[in-house]
Structure 1
Amino acid sequence: MQASKLLAAGVFALSAIVPLAAGAAGYPSAPVKLVVGFSPGSTIDTVARIMGDALSTRMGQPFVVENRTGANGMIAARAVMQAKPDGYTILVSNSSSITVNPLLYKDLQYDPLKDFAPVTTVVSVPFILTINAENPRVSGVHDVKSLVELARRNPNTISYGSAGNGNLMHLAGAQLATMSGVQMLHVPYRGAAPMEAGLMSKEVDFGFDTLSGVPLIKSGKLKALAVSTAERWHDLPDVPSVAEVGYPGFDISFWVGVFAPAGTPPEVVERLNKEIALAAEDPAVRARLALQGNPSTQPSPQAFRKKIEDELKQNEALIKRANIKID
């Protein structure tokens, strides 16, 4: 009797394993949902649609974008965290939702490393340190050094805008202030577009703008002093990086990355990592991605996890140094 029970248990266990292995080997055998926590037309949404189109072609099943906006990407992250871990519900999100929100929000309801299986990044996007040259408060500013010196002479008066408290734009401004040892005034807005409008209307003196500011820079309405990444941005080749002009180690950007729910078969996660990397190497796909940021994938899911771990530590240290808090 005991032997028959053990045999039945073994058969049951095997039956549970075999479909999982078969599903991983034949993945995908049905449409895949890409859940995006940001609005249509945003960088994250656009990258998801570019990659979704490419993966649909490569893998023979539709990869369909579903926008679940709100709470700086947290609503979408929670939805994917609770989804069945079979590779058919995938999160496309940004670094702020994964490596900043967990450090600031007590009611986040997800752990970026325990509740998700990181797949890969797709693009890395710089911020652009920008001023309005017609703003009389910064009329003498022509580079990062002169901006810092102005702030040094006027402590806690020279202001920088951001897309909100704790946003990566905020962290970039705080990093510049802490590295230069000056006091600057942070002015949070409700998003990147309102912050850019604040620059245009001279409400704030500078900001780490998104790539949406490039046309304004090229038309002369805004002036770019530096980019936030270690390397220059290909569309503004004459604009130096902050690191180049006296702040080595300054390297802040936001990436767009792909995540599966924790417990997704490793074979599925590995397959997605490889297919996204191959898709990003296609010249046509790469050209489309380059309009949104620097195409940048991770060599393995493990490498992406390590990147997230490192950024969480770096951001935590910066948030403590700058005393950034969310009420």
Structure 2
Amino acid sequence: MKTSSTHKTRRLLTLSALSLATGLSLLAGAPAQAQGNKPIRLVVPYAPGGPLDIVARALAERVKDKLGVVIIENKAGAGGNIGADLVAKAAPDGQTLVMGAVATHAINPWLFSKIPYDPIRDFTPITLVARVPNVLVMNTETAQRLKIESVADLVAYAKKNPGKLNYGSGGNGSAGHLAGEMFKAQAGVFMTHIPYSGGNPAQLALVSGQVDLNFDNLASASANIKSGKLKALAVTTAKRSPAQPETPAIAESPAALGLSKFDINTWFGIFGPAKLAPETVKTLNAAFVEALNSPEMKSRMAALMAEPAPSTPEQFGAFVKSELAKYEGVVKRSGAKLD
């Protein structure tokens, strides 16, 4: 009896040890909040209410069953640099993430003389979240007066009349400004850039005829396109946008125009601090990718004219590096600097 009891005790102890080891192994790869019941902080480096913030909040709701509570924390300032830096310097435990964007990780490193983080070394890519197309729009009356119906017409007119066309943007170094600079460089034309203090003033200037054309956010411009106040010549992404499939892409223009590789858009994605454990990255990626593929998120994205773009961490990391390299030349050609 004593021997049997000893064997049973040893067996129970062995099973308990195995269970504990398995549990510890699983916890090692899980975000820290799952271990300590602390919420994950998803930092949005911009003010509340914009497309990036809206998508972040929708994602937080979708992933709570897999990751637990996710709290959105808006940390606006310095073009997104303040929020991004907060996460760059956070502990690599999966508890603090950032919804980074083309500005924080591809444009700002060239636009600002100094930023407090390295966009590659100081972050761990989790997944690309979405792309938001921009659209080349003209004041409709201006387009009719100048007989411009297409990108080819625009380039032809600009070459015959250098400097006569102007375009507005939300400011020096903004997405609209840089899209215009890329267009000028690839098409070999000159147009005067007129910066405004934000996207809304730039759009009002276009609608009122103070400027001839803009490279605007598709979601922002869509109402004026539908009303006929603005004429959409082309979207700036490599392919047509599902949100407005009747509008061609700039890259579809005749090859002779030199725009066949034109591809510029607003994108955003989720990053953690550098040195996140591979299992943590895997857990986070799986949860966010599943959420992005859900019908509900696709519907929410469509309302914002954003295109879901879930990816592997490796794909996202390679994409960010390519975007950083692309914008180096664009920003330098533009001459834009912010400090």
User: TM-score surpassing 0.5?
Assistant: yes
Report deviation, 1:239.
0.5
Q: For 1:99, give the aligned amino acid.
A: A
- Whether the 8 Å contact between 1:138 and 1:147 is mirrored in structure 2 is no
Q: For 2:264, give the aligned amino acid.
A: I
Asked whether 1:256 is paired with 2:268, we answer yes
Report deviation, 1:278.
1.1
Q: For 1:45, give the aligned amino acid.
A: D
Which one of 149, 152, 156 corresponds to residue 142 of structure 1? 149
Segments of 5+ residues of structure 2 without an aligned counterpart are 1-22
Which one of 84, 87, 90 corresponds to residue 94 of structure 2? 87
The separation in 2 between residues aligned to 1:26 and 1:178, in whole angstroms, is: 45
Q: What residue is the counterpart of 1:220 in the other structure? A: 228
The separation in 2 between residues aligned to 1:141 and 1:258, in whole angstroms, is: 40
Asked whether 1:229 is paired with 2:237, we answer yes
Aligned pairs (5 A) from 1:17-36:
22-25=27-30, 28-29=33-34, 30-36=38-44
The separation in 2 between residues aligned to 1:47 and 1:163, in whole angstroms, is: 22
Q: For 2:265, give the aligned amino acid.
A: S
- Whether the 8 Å contact between 2:31 and 2:93 is mirrored in structure 1 is no
Report deviation, 1:177.
0.7
Q: Secondary structure at the match of 1:270?
A: helix
Q: Over residues 100-143 of structure 1, what are the superposed CA-to-partner deviations in whole Å (9 max), with x where a residue is unaligned?
A: 11012112111101111111111111101011112479642221
Please, which moves more after superposition, 72-81 or 260-269? Answer: 260-269
Q: What residue is the counterpart of 1:297 in the other structure? A: 310
- Whether the 8 Å contact between 1:85 and 1:264 is mirrored in structure 2 is yes
The separation in 1 between residues aligned to 2:199 and 2:26, in whole angstroms, is: 44
The separation in 1 between residues aligned to 2:137 and 2:71, in whole angstroms, is: 36
Aligned pairs (5 A) from 1:103-182:
103-135=110-142, 139-182=146-189
Q: Secondary structure at the match of 1:122?
A: strand
Q: What residue is the counterpart of 1:11 in the other structure? A: none
Q: Over residues 218-274 of structure 1, what are the superposed CA-to-partner deviations in whole Å (9 max), with x where a residue is unaligned?
A: 111211110001111122111100001132111101111111111222221221112
The RMSD of aligned alpha carbons is 2.0
The separation in 2 between residues aligned to 1:25 and 1:149, in whole angstroms, is: 57
Relative to the length of structure 2, the TM-score reads 0.85
Q: For 2:320, give the aligned amino acid.
A: I
Relative to the length of structure 1, the TM-score reads 0.88
Which one of 54, 58, 64 corresponds to residue 62 of structure 2? 54
Q: How many residues align?
A: 307
Q: For 2:223, give the aligned amino acid.
A: P
Q: For 2:221, give the aligned amino acid.
A: G
Please, which moves more after superposition, 239-248 or 263-272? Answer: 263-272
Segments of 5+ residues of structure 1 without an aligned counterpart are 1-17
Q: What residue is the counterpart of 1:71 in the other structure? A: 78
- Whether the 8 Å contact between 2:42 and 2:99 is mirrored in structure 1 is yes
- Whether the 8 Å contact between 2:31 and 2:95 is mirrored in structure 1 is no
The separation in 2 between residues aligned to 1:270 and 1:110, in whole angstroms, is: 24
Q: What residue is the counterpart of 1:4 in the other structure? A: none
The separation in 2 between residues aligned to 1:108 and 1:129, in whole angstroms, is: 31
Q: Secondary structure at the match of 2:29?
A: helix
Report deviation, 1:26.
6.2
Q: Secondary structure at the match of 1:56?
A: helix
The separation in 2 between residues aligned to 1:86 and 1:20, in whole angstroms, is: 15
Please, which moves more after superposition, 131-140 or 163-172? Answer: 131-140
